[in-house]
């Protein structure tokens, strides 16, 4: 059955989703109307869409959800592709959607290695659709079945959401390993350490360890950490090569909240600590990472 799709956010990821779902003729909308000439009203798009994809930064999710809430079509699915924590509440994006939308829509998180420029160029990607309702996840699998995005289901919403947060932070560290010229061996070592630690963190946060080794964890972390176009990777490189931090990224924005959420266990997570200390004191990055690999 063909579904009417609405895409909120016409940045690189939103445009990539529009390319992938072109057979469904998605309606695209952006707060900057210049990005989508002739776009319809947000209320109209929300009212007709069976699936609404929020391709926007994490800090904008609550506002966007509130804007569409009065108009959502009965039985609609709202998909967030944002990976982060809300600064004020430290809630994950699925939790923010649930708080704002309640029972008005089925909410799902789509997370995995989905570099927008590659998807837009027709290359393949992978994702996991995380929802506590099996039918909701399966609906996303069906939606993308004939596209270049391979989607699988998970009911581990908390684990998938936190993996998306953590992979951005660990990707900063991978940029540091490269920028410090520690070598390919250490790069591989770092990936192993980071993913094992991610599994430990997810377990502490009520998620499933296995999620760390799937599309939302290992796969997305490696894709982000090795992509020259990744802001998180660029932040790590900048810290390592220049000893200063001028850029910002989702990983940087999430670090303070992650430290608070894991305060009781912070000393257990040596990779997160090394990245955090290096972000706070860029000049100490080499010493922190040499200690990590001692």
Q: Smallest Cα–Cα separation from 272: which of 223, 199, 214, 209?
A: 199
pLDDT at 252: 92
Pairing of strands 5-8, 27-29: parallel
Express each pLDDT in 80-114 by its tens digit.
999 999 999 999 999 999 999 998 999 999 999 99
pLDDT at 1: 61
pLDDT at 2: 74
Domain ranges in the chain with CATH number 1.10.1040.10: 159-292
Domain ranges in the chain with CATH number 3.40.50.720: 5-155
pLDDT at 254: 93
Torsion over CA: 277, 258, 128, 202 (sign): positive
pLDDT at 229: 85
Which top CATH class is 5-155? alpha beta
pLDDT at 236: 95
Q: How far does the chain reach from its first CA to its final CA, in angstroms?
A: 56
- Whole-number percent of the chain with pLDDT over 90: 91
- What CATH number does the domain located at 159-292 have? 1.10.1040.10
- Whole-number percent of the chain with pLDDT over 70: 100
On average, the pLDDT of the chain sits at 95
Name the residues annotated as catalytic: 167
CA atoms within a 13 Å half-sphere pointing along the CA-CB vector of 74:
0
CA distance 116 to 122: 10
Q: Would you say 114 and 90 are in contact if contact means Cβ atoms under 8 Å apart?
A: no
Give me the residues of the chain with pLDDT under 50, please: none
Count the Cβ atoms, other than its own, within 10 Å of residue 61: 24
pLDDT at 18: 96
């Amino acid at each position: 059955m063909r579904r009417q799709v609405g895409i909120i956010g016409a940045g690189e990821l939103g445009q990539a989703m529009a390319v992938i779902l072109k057979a469904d003729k998605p309606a695209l909308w952006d707060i900057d109307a210049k990005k989508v000439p002739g776009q319809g009203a947000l209320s109209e798009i929300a009212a007709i869409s069976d699936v609404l994809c929020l391709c926007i930064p994490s800090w904008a999710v609550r506002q966007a959800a509130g804007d569409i809430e009065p108009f959502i079509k009965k039985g609609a699915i709202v998909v967030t592709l944002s990976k982060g924590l809300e600064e004020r509440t430290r809630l994950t994006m699925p939790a923010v959607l649930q708080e704002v939308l309640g029972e008005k829509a089925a909410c799902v998180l789509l997370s995995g290695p989905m570099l927008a420029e590659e998807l837009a160029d027709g290359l393949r990607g992978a994702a996991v659709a995380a929802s506590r309702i099996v039918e909701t996840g399966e609906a996303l699998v069906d939606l993308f079945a004939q596209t270049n995005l391979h989607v699988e289901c998970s009911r581990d919403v908390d684990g998938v959401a936190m993996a998306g947060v953590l992979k951005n932070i660990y990707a900063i560290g991978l940029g540091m390993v490269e920028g410090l010229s520690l070598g390919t061996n250490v790069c591989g070592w770092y990936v192993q350490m980071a993913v094992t630690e991610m599994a430990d963190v997810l377990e502490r946060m009520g998620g499933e360890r296995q999620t760390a080794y799937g599309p939302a964890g290992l796969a997305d972390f490696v894709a982000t950490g090795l992509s020259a176009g990744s802001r998180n990777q660029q932040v790590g490189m900048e810290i390592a090569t220049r000893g200063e931090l001028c850029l910002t990224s989702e990983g940087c924005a999430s670090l303070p909240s992650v430290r608070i959420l894991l305060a009781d266990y912070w000393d257990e997570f040596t990779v997160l600590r090394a990245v955090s200390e290096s972000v706070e004191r860029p000049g100490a990055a080499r010493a922190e990472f040499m200690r990590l690999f001692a």
